[in-house]
Each structure stands twice: as structure tokens, then as C-alpha cells.
Amino acid sequence: MSPRTAPALRAGTWTVRTATASFEVRNFGFNRVRGTIPVRAGAVEVTGGGVTAVRADLDLGAVDTKNARRDADLRKPHLLDSGAHPELTFTAAGVRRDGEGWEVTGELRLRGTSCPLTLAVEADGTRVRATGTLDRAPLGVKAPRAMIGRYVAIVVEAELEPPS
């Protein structure tokens, strides 16, 4: 089913049943580091006029790159600071049609600060895939670009539970 032929969403709160947030960033300029951050909770608000709000909460204390030492470094205060700020939150006030899919522009909150983030969204029934690129600099995540790339590719795949 393509987004153009997808049925209208039922009004109400669609909750995240399962979700995976994955990321990829350059390391030392040429290596690519991939990882995941668990999605703790999420919801999509739908009214008769369409999607009116999106929210996702991610658990920074459980970031996983398959390298325990790197994961511990990522949790430190100069990077994610997950001890003081254990959650990363994305909120948006609506979604707009963009070609074959949708675009959602919202605010990503991390470490007590925020920055805008735009995600391209594809949906197939209750399954949703959102992709985008995050510029880590406005969030105060400090590391030399030679060590950790400035831009982080993000993919979120979720299955939504329709309202009852």
C-alpha cells in the first residue's frame, strides 16, 4: 500500500507498540558507527483534520553501538550526558504531505537544549518509517569532528497501536 492509497487515520491517540531508533555517524572521518537507542514511549494524535501532534521519548542510558567502551563514553557529560539527562524527546505539532509520503518538522530535546529536526515519513498501515539528519552542534554535544561526525543519520521504525 502506498501513502497515497493508505486509508485515512482514525481520530484519537495512536500509541507506539514497538519502535527502534537507529543512528549512523562517521567516526575518525571514514569509519561509520551504527547504534540504537530504545524508544521508551511515543504517540501520534489524529483529529479529523489529520495528524496534529507527534511525540517520542528515547532512553539515552541504553544507547547501544555494540561496543561497551564507546557506549560508556557516549553517556559521559561532554557527549550525551545521560546521567543528568536520561531522555531524548522529539515533539512535533503536525505533519504535512510531501510527495509520496509526509514530512514532520519538530523539536529534538537533549541535554536541556533543543534544535529543529525534520523527518521524512513513510507509512504502510500501522507501520511507520521516519528518516532524517541531525546536526549535533546546536545540542552542545562536543567532540572534535575528526572523532565524531557533525551530522547523524537517523532512522525510526515503529508500529502504531490504533485508538480503541
pLDDT per residue rounded down to tens, the chain (164 residues): 344 444 467 899 999 999 999 999 988 767 899 999 999 999 999 998 788 999 999 999 999 999 999 999 999 988 899 999 999 999 999 899 888 889 999 999 998 899 999 999 999 989 999 999 999 888 888 776 667 888 999 999 999 999 98
Quick one: pLDDT at residue 147?
78
Q: What is the sign, positive or negative, of the torsion defined by CA atoms of 142, 118, 51, 6?
A: negative
H-helix or E-strand containing 128? Answer: strand 127-135
Quick one: pLDDT at residue 126?
92
Distance CA 44, CA 131 (A): 16
34 CB-side CA count, 13 A: 3
H-helix or E-strand containing 47? Answer: strand 31-47
| 68 phi and psi angles, rounded to 5 deg | -55, -40
Identify the structural domains of the chain with CATH numbers, from first to last. Answer: 12-161 (2.40.128.110)
Task: Write out the three cell numbers for 8.
Answer: 485515512
Quick one: pLDDT at residue 140?
80
3-class secondary-structure state, position 146:
coil
Is 137:8 a contact under the CB 8 Å cutoff?
Answer: no
73 secondary structure, DSSP code: H
